[in-house]
Amino acid sequence: MKKLLVVLLSLGLLVAFGATASAADVKFSGSYYLVGVYESNPSMADNAYSHAFFYQRVRLQPVFQIAEGLTFTARMDALEKQWGNTNWKGNSTYTGVSSADDLTSSRKTTVGTTGASQKIQESFEFERAYVTFLTGIGMFQVGYQNVDDWGTDFGDYSNSRPRIAFVTKVGPMTLAATYEKVYENDTAAGANQMLTDADKDTYSLSGTYKGKDIEAGLLYKYYGYSNYRQYGIGQTMNQLSPYMKATFGPVYVEGEATYWFGKFAKFEAPNLLYPAGTPDIDLQAYSAYLKGKINVGPAYFGALFSYASGNDLSDKTKFTTAPSGAGTNFAPTLILMNDALNTWTGGHVAASPGNYTSVLGATGTFYNPVTSNKYNTIIFNAFAGFNPMPKLNMEAALTYATVDKKAISMNGPPAK
């Protein structure tokens, strides 16, 4: 009889865990934007063309309350396109190859391709889907979630990738541990398919303190990339990022810094591209950001500084371009290096600091790209604004930007 009860209990548990979940409540959020753009001379050349257009996006994010402490969240976009562009097809910079692509690419950040047969931007595109459940030790989130965001907007991209996250609170501290599957090789096409564990994975630990007028955190993230295994090349990168936000009366201050270290390229035998004895490429790069803002009634003014290290190609054994740059979410200007404008004007060219040929100096073409990711940049920005009503803002800003390093040509004088 006891064995029968155990069997019945086991069957009951199997049925309970395998049963279809029904939502007890659903909450919807979302957004819609429409932007008009006119550029008189985008190429800044004599007798150049001008262009004008509109672009838009509809976004929905439903949250299904399955049970107490258990929710399912999805996010979908629709009609993300230019008005009147009947051939729009959003491409993606993500190739599953370049480390820089993995850090910076989103679903569709490059120019739309005319004449393409697919019209994905005219239908719903599901981008995220994950479950959140609470336990006695903390919260778990499993599925396609928001990634590449930490601290301030500096260095952020708001990408979507599969992730498992665990978050728990210890007093005023929030602790988190995450695992991301960036690239799965087992089902990929090409010569790399037959290799074992030629994947891309990341692991991170973070701690965040939130007080009344101050917030601070520290992130450590490890990138284990093995997608170049067929060439005998490995990649292990480490990211260390502290940040802070503080309010002192009418004064608000925030800042963030990132230190990158590890092996940007570790050459192992057998190596099919480079001769035996090729020295490894060490990663040592930095980025930093500081912003101050003073509120005076409905008005405000302030300034910011950002830095993302570049590389002058003087030492082929070191990679010093900050892999995350300053990020696409960080947008102190409306035109210069603005990701939204670059995306919809077709001006965004996905440069690849992760290209190993460039690293070893055979080309060096994309070693110091200055794109909307803002690699290899120094930016100074002063701004002032006014809020005539809570949901209306008017702001003016003055920006000066330059590069951190000018690349040295491998077969000639320094690049200008």
The domain locations on the chain are: 26-403
Q: In this model, does residue 9 exceed pLDDT 50?
A: no
More confident residue, 369 or 152: 152
- pLDDT band of 349, cuts 50, 70, 90: very low
pLDDT at 412 over 50: no
Average pLDDT over residues 160-184: 96
Q: Is the pLDDT of residue 152 over 90?
A: yes
Q: Does residue 270 have a cis bond before it (omega within 30 degrees)?
A: yes
Is the pLDDT assigned to residue 207 strictly greater than 50?
yes
pLDDT at position 116, please? 43
Average pLDDT, the chain: 80
CATH architecture of 26-403: Beta Barrel (2.40)
- pLDDT value for 20: 57
pLDDT at 118 over 60: no
What average pLDDT score do residues 170-182 get? 96
pLDDT, residue 220, reads 98
pLDDT beyond 90 at 308: yes
Distance separating alpha carbons of residues 167 and 274, to the nearest angstrom: 43
Residue 217 reports pLDDT greater than 50: yes
Phi, psi of 231 (to 5 degrees): -100, 0
Answer with the residue of higher pLDDT: 126 or 104.
Answer: 126
Mean pLDDT of 210-216: 95
Banded pLDDT at 416 (limits 50, 70, 90) = very low
Share of the chain above pLDDT 70, in %: 75
Structure tokens at 126: 């599901």
Torsion on CA atoms 269, 270, 275, 280, rounded to nearest 10: -30
Calpha distance 298→358 (Å, rounded): 50
Q: How confident is the model at residue 248 (pLDDT cuts 50, 70, 90)?
A: very high
Confidence at 5, pLDDT banded by 50, 70, 90: very low
Q: Could you tell me the pLDDT band of residue 234, with boundaries at 50, 70 and 90?
A: confident
pLDDT at res. 46: 80
Tell me, what's the pLDDT at 223?
96
Cα–Cα distance measured from residue 165 to residue 308, given in angstroms and rounded to the nearest whole number: 28
Residues 6+ away with beta carbon under 8 Å from 355: 98, 363, 366
Could you tell me which of 340, 408, 366 has the C-alpha nearest to residue 100? 366
Q: Do 127 and 144 contact (CB within 8 A), yes or no?
A: yes
Q: How confident is the model at residue 87 (pLDDT cuts 50, 70, 90)?
A: low
- How sure is the predictor about 409, in pLDDT bands with cuts at 50, 70 and 90? low
- Say yes or no to pLDDT of 239 above 80: yes
Return the minimum-mean-pLDDT range out of 178-182, 227-231, 346-350.
346-350
* Residue 88: per-residue pLDDT: 53
Does residue 351 surpass a pLDDT of 70? no
